[in-house]
Every structure is written in C-alpha cells, then in structure tokens.
Amino acid sequence: MLAAWSTPIQAVVAVAVGGVSLAIAALIVPTEAAGRVLVLLAALGCLGIAAVAGRERPRLAVHPGGMLSVGGLRGRRSWSAADIQRIRVLRYPRLGRRVPMLEIDIQSTSEEHLLVFGRWDLGTNPQDVFDALCTYGLVPAERD
C-alpha cells in the first residue's frame, strides 16, 4: 500500500468510550423511562458510528500499480486508474461555512459510483488527499 487515509483511531476510540459511558449512565442514573430510552439510543448510535468507522479502515488507499481501494461496510472495493472518471475537491455549505469534500467518479464497464469523502472519512484535509492522488497519477486530466 502506497498511501492510506481513514478516520483517526483516537476519534473512533473516543466515540466508543462515549457510547459506553452513555450506556452506563442510562443504567445507573435514576430517571424516568423515556429519558433512559433516549440515552440508551444515543449510546447505541455512538457505538454504531464507532463500529462502522472501525470496519471501514482504511477508508481510501492507493496500491501499487495505480489501484484505488475504498473500505465500506461490505468490504473493500478496488478500481484501476482507467476506471476513474474524475477526482475533484468541492466546497459544500455546512453549518454556515464551506467544507471541502473529495469527490471521486468511478465508471467501469459494469458499474458507476460517486464516492464522497469528508474530513471525518479521510482523517485529514480532502485537499491534501487530492494532492497526493495527483502525485500518484490517479487524477485524470479534465475533459471538456
């Protein structure tokens, strides 16, 4: 593997610890049943997010020979440089500011995919990942 990007393991552990803490608090702290259910749902949400982030590691990777692989819930998918239609960084409005997102368009003979990665997925600024993908020759030239 030449390069890989994923959610920082410290963030995954922090979310899991938060989920466990919420579950313990829901069981120990005396409160009404509705409050207990809501806190348990929040705990399950945190543990689910941590499990998904741990399962997808590494989220995006570059392998020798120009192969790009993406981790997902159902395992890893890989594509060659010829399957990549476009890679770009777009800035989307979110919570009052513009947030960079890495978009990868995949088009092979049997499938089409639009992959969108943010800072949480990559563990770094998407622009830095785009620059690295340029260095590895995976960003195709823009077509008119």
Q: Cβ neighbours of residue 64 under 8 Å, at least 6 residues apart? A: 2
Question: Are residues 131 and 67 located together in one domain of the fold?
Answer: yes
Q: Residue 105 is part of which domain span? A: 60-135
Residue 144 lies in a domain: no
Residue 87 lies in a domain: yes
In contact, 70 and 6? CB cutoff 8 Å: no
- 3 state SS of 121: helix
Predicted confidence (pLDDT) per residue in 35-72, tens digit: 999 999 999 999 999 999 999 999 999 999 889 999 99
Q: What is the pTM of this model?
A: 0.84
Question: Are residues 70 and 89 located together in one domain of the fold?
Answer: yes
Question: Are residues 81 and 106 located together in one domain of the fold?
Answer: yes
- 3 state SS of 9: helix
Provide the domain count of the chain.
2
Question: Are residues 15 and 67 located together in one domain of the fold?
Answer: no
The pLDDT of residue 66: 85
Residue 140 lies in a domain: no
Bond from prior residue into 58 cis (ω within 30 degrees of 0) = yes
**Which regions of the chain are under pLDDT 70?**
143-144
